[in-house]
Amino acid sequence: MYKNILVNALVNLGDVVLTTSALDLIKKNFPDAKITLMVKSVAKDAVIDNPVVDDVIVFDYMVKEHSFNTMRKMVGEVRKRNFDLAISFDRKLRPALLNFMAGIKKRVGPSKVFDDNSSRVTLLYTDVIKISHDLNKTLQAETYQEIVRQFFKIDGHGEPQFPQKKSPVAEKLLSQLDENKLKIALCVRGTFPLKTYPKEYFAEVVRRLRKKYSAEFFIVGAPGDKEYADEVISEIGGDVKNFCGKTSLTDLAEIFRRSDLFITVDTGATHIAATTKIKMVTMYGCTSPDRWHPINENAITLTSRESCCPCAFKPEECPSYPHPNCLYNVRPSEVVAASEKLLREKV
């Protein structure tokens, strides 16, 4: 049995959250195993004090950066920890090479994880796990778990895990809202335009919900989302709080735990929210909800299932640019109806 496991997850925030479902599965079967997770700094708050992560290594690097000293130092750091197993959830060259140079004897990775393309990176693994299912029709969390299931020869499923901490910041922000009203969180901007629901649609959703419910609305997001959120608030007509850039990831999770509804696009906050089991509506554009829907029984996903989706188009390459069908065909009335369904028991 492996006692000291290094897991590489140098991926985006949402993916890091989803990889914790595989760590949950390992912990359920091997509770004494120590799991160290290697992540980028942007995701560290999602894994520090996470119930399925024992230690964290932060490894930031630029893809085009070839710093011998940076790599040498990290090789030394990994080697001195004496890992007996390395599992790759990212299939990237830099961490795979790092594990090889650090002398970890057992190095495991998937034949595919984000696309169907083959990669020479797998030559650096001692064990290549064959992933045979259709990636776009399978939850990404299940792909991560399949790597674990096959290697350890175990069954079952895990769930994404997230730290739960007291948050004075969440307390302060939520104190700005009327405690007698419903608290409805919004995430209005995706990581790229073909995931971002139209401003005018968001505005219509809020205006229609306001007519039926006594509710406070607020927008969450990263610091870089603040200006865009202000534009959405202007489109709505004001009276919406802008919390973008004011929370850490754990603050954000606490805000979700204490809110009544989350209306969001497909982004990292979606998967953080799902771990809190908040009622949520997620609108999908160019990405597949079959692969990326939140693991939350209280979630409703909306998509128009265009024939061209999922896609990897740049916005200006979209056949229906500048009004992508995948986003514009998810009508505000659908979002309102889904929200009303989830809120019904609250009223």
Residue 60 has pLDDT above 90, yes or no: no
Cα–Cα distances in angstroms (integers) from residue 222 to residues 55, 187, 260, in the given order: 25, 10, 21
pLDDT at 19: 98
Residue 21 has pLDDT above 60, yes or no: yes
pLDDT at 38: 97
Residue 63 has pLDDT above 80, yes or no: no
Residue 207 has pLDDT above 70, yes or no: yes
Q: Is residue 223 classed as helix, strand or coil in its secondary structure?
A: helix
Cα–Cα distances in angstroms (integers) from residue 46 to residues 9, 198, 223, 332, in the given order: 12, 29, 17, 32
* Superfamily of the domain at 168-346: Glycogen Phosphorylase B; (3.40.50.2000)
- C-alpha 182/C-alpha 47 separation (Å) is 30
Segment 208-233 shows an average pLDDT of 97
Q: Where in the chain is the domain with CATH 3.40.50.2000?
A: 4-152, 168-346
- C-alpha 130/C-alpha 120 separation (Å) is 15
- C-alpha 151/C-alpha 87 separation (Å) is 10
pLDDT at 66: 58
- E-strand stretches of 60-188: 85-88, 107-110, 127-129, 182-187
> Tokens representing 257?
């735990």
CATH number belonging to domain 4-152: 3.40.50.2000
pLDDT at 70: 83
Q: What's the helix, strand, coil split of the chain in %, to 5?
A: 45, 15, 40
pLDDT at 69: 80
Q: What are the tens digits of pLDDT across the range 137-159?
A: 999 999 999 999 999 999 999 99
For the chain, what is the mean pLDDT? 95
Residue 303 has pLDDT above 80, yes or no: yes
What's the order of all strands across the beta sheet hosting 4-8?
Answer: 55-58, 34-39, 4-8, 85-88, 107-110, 127-129
pLDDT at 61: 75
Of 58-62, 179-183, 293-297, where does mean pLDDT reach its minimum?
58-62
Q: What are the tens digits of pLDDT across the range 90-131?
A: 999 999 999 999 999 999 999 999 999 989 999 999 999 999
Distance of CA 235 to the CA centre of its chain: 27
pLDDT at 332: 98
Question: Could you give the percent of the chain with pLDDT greater than 90?
Answer: 94
Indicate the residue type of 285: G
pLDDT at 346: 55
What's the order of all strands across the beta sheet hosting 182-187?
Answer: 241-242, 215-219, 182-187, 261-265, 280-283, 299-302
Cα–Cα distances in angstroms (integers) from residue 347 to residues 87, 177, 296, 300, 340, in the given order: 47, 18, 21, 19, 10
pTM (whole model) above 0.75:
yes
Q: What residues does 4 pair with on adjacent strands? A: 34
Residue 62 has pLDDT above 90, yes or no: no
Residue 67 has pLDDT above 90, yes or no: no
Handedness of CA 292, 297, 301, 307 (dihedral sign): positive
